[in-house]
Structure 1
Amino acid sequence: MTTQEEFETAAQRAQQLPSKPSNTVLLQLYALFKQASEGDATGPQPGGFDFKAIAKYNAWHGLNGLSKDAARQQYVELVSELVG
């Protein structure tokens, strides 16, 4: 199975986790997924009082420079840990 196939399988498994992860883990999942799918975060940080969007952007932006392949692998590993 290729890294891309493992990533796609993990993305499906992440939708069916046995319990809801903490907000910190959810942000990590989001950031790794975005980095693996789109690469580095671009554009300005969201402003105003949309704290959820700001947190998501900051988590993703924190992974800038991480390759898509490395992000895919980390995402697969994290989902595997969460599934158990």
Structure 2
Amino acid sequence: MTDLKNTFEKAVAESKQLPSKPDNETLLSLYSLYKQATAGDIDTQNTPAMFDFVAKAKYDAWLKLQGMAADVAMQLYINLVASLKGG
């Protein structure tokens, strides 16, 4: 898994240097895949405030990935960054 982790870390660095800013939906995908890969399942006990729309969107995106293995989330993140780079 070390090769995957190294490739993931490289993709994380590359995601910060994309030629153009992704749309909000793609940013949520990047966020949720990153969180699932690095932190695992979301803590459903700490829900965001009702009117904190950004936090709620992030929470919902991450919640959809509940149960996904970290290595799967890493690979999906890598694939998404590669597609954003045009590769």
Question: What amino acid is aligned across from residue 3 of structure 1 in structure 2?
Answer: L
The residue that corresponds to 2:8 in the other structure is: 7
The residue that corresponds to 2:55 in the other structure is: 53
After superposing the two structures, state which structure 1 stretch, 38-47 or 70-79, moved more: 38-47
- Structure 1 residue runs of 5 or longer lacking an equivalent are none
The residue that corresponds to 1:19 in the other structure is: 20
State the Cα distance separating 1:27 from its structure 2 match.
Answer: 0.1
What is the aligned-residue RMSD (CA, Å)?
1.0
State the Cα distance separating 1:40 from its structure 2 match.
Answer: 0.4
Aligned residues with identical type, % of pairs: 48
Query: Stretches of 4+ moved more than 3 A in 1?
Result: none
Task: Provide TM-score, normalisation by structure 2.
Answer: 0.93
Task: Provide TM-score, normalisation by structure 1.
Answer: 0.96
Q: Contact 1:39 / 1:68 at 8 angstroms: preserved in 2?
A: yes
For residues 12-39 of structure 1, the C-alpha deviation after alignment (integer angstroms, 9 at most, x for no partner) is 0000000011100000000000000000
Q: Distance in 1 between matches of 2:31 and 2:47?
A: 16
After superposing the two structures, state which structure 1 stretch, 20-29 or 37-46, moved more: 37-46
